Amino acid sequence: MTTRLLLFIMICLVCNIAKAVDVNDSIAKNHKSVVRLNFLVSPKQKKIDPAPLSFQLQAKLMRLFHKKALYVIIANSSEDMVSQVLYILKKRNAMIGNIWFDSHGHFNRRRSLFEIGEDEYNWRSIRDSSFTKYLRRLEDYCDSNTKAGIGSCYGGATYSLPAIEEFPECRMNGDSLMIGLSELLNNATVYASESFVMTRPGILNASYGFFGNPAKKKFRDIIYGPVWEKLGEWNCYSGAKKEFEKPVTVSLRQDGRIHCKPKEFLAFKKNRKRLEEKLTKLKRGNYNLSYLYQEG
């Protein structure tokens, strides 16, 4: 090989490397320049419900201080929610940084779920393309840097509920629900709880406000044993890696960003002690089995 040919090859290599560096720098700059917005989604109330009302009031208060990053969406359906979110994203030429679905869980339905107004998403419906057609419209505004939170009790539950009367043993399938949501949102990272999700004051202060347990007698039934044993535990599914990561303790920052606490809820001695006391007091008969026969 002649010296002139070697020199030509070296010049080509240098030019290609420089071009690659320029492209990578451009991608990095474009990535940094993307506007990311955070959305807190909560159901529109037909009658006063303390849990979503508390969430909405706290979210709207934080919105006053974080108008450039945080948006509160009150919707009566997924179509309504998506319409509001898309209007904001297009107006701001932005993508979704974080999206949180505030919702009740429904233990009597014996499955993990979250609701957007009247629409219920569970491990089956999240795979129904006709049912998810509105939610899928958010796909182009999400990527693997997007974080989504399922804010319902038992939304990420992976345990099985025992057989009761004619109801067979039933797995909650929260993991399947999380995977389905991640795929709909273009490989977003999804967080969901194995246990109860509370709406105490200060939940948007990166605190432990989501953790604890409801006070009603029915929650102290032995049927809730699997829920209590997972108190404070949230699952995390990485859409980019296609795998579940180590369980975390989730909170929200004031601007709506999903935050993982450095210490788990049960890492605190007082919380472990309270849980042990609660477990010893669980007894059969506190839960009205008629709930299981309600529609759903």
Can you give the pLDDT at residue 86? 98
Instruction: Give residue 163's pLDDT.
Output: 83
The model's pTM is 0.87
State the pLDDT at residue 295.
57
User: CA 139, 141, 145, 148 torsion: positive or negative?
Assistant: negative
**Helix, strand, coil shares, percent, the chain, to 5:** 40, 20, 40
Q: Which residues of the chain have pLDDT under 50?
A: 1-31
pLDDT at 167: 85
CA 237/CA 189 separation, integer angstroms:
6
Distance CA 117, CA 70 (A): 20
What is the DSSP secondary-structure string of 8-42?
Answer: HHHHHHHHHHHHHHHHHHHHHHHHHH-EEEEEEEE
Angle at 62 between CA 92 and CA 248, to 5 degrees: 95
Structure confidence at residue 25 (pLDDT): 37
CB atoms within 10 A of CB 114: 27
Contacts by 2-7, CB closer than 8 A, 24 or more apart: none
Instruction: Retrieve residue 193's tokens.
Output: 């709880």
Q: Among 251, 153, 145, which residue's Cα sits nearest to residue 189?
A: 145
How many other CB atoms sit within 10 Å of the CB of residue 258? 24
Structure confidence at residue 212 (pLDDT): 84
Q: Please tell me the predicted confidence (pLDDT) of residue 57.
A: 96
Q: Which residue has the tokens 């998506």?
A: 82
What does each C-alpha distance from 237 to 139, 141, 157, 259 come to in angstroms?
17, 19, 13, 15
pLDDT of res. 225: 93
Which pLDDT does position 162 carry in this prediction?
83
Determine which helix (DSSP H) or strand (DSSP E) holds 97, and give its type and residue range.
strand 94-102
Contacts of 143 (CB under 8 A, 6+ apart): 95, 186, 187, 188
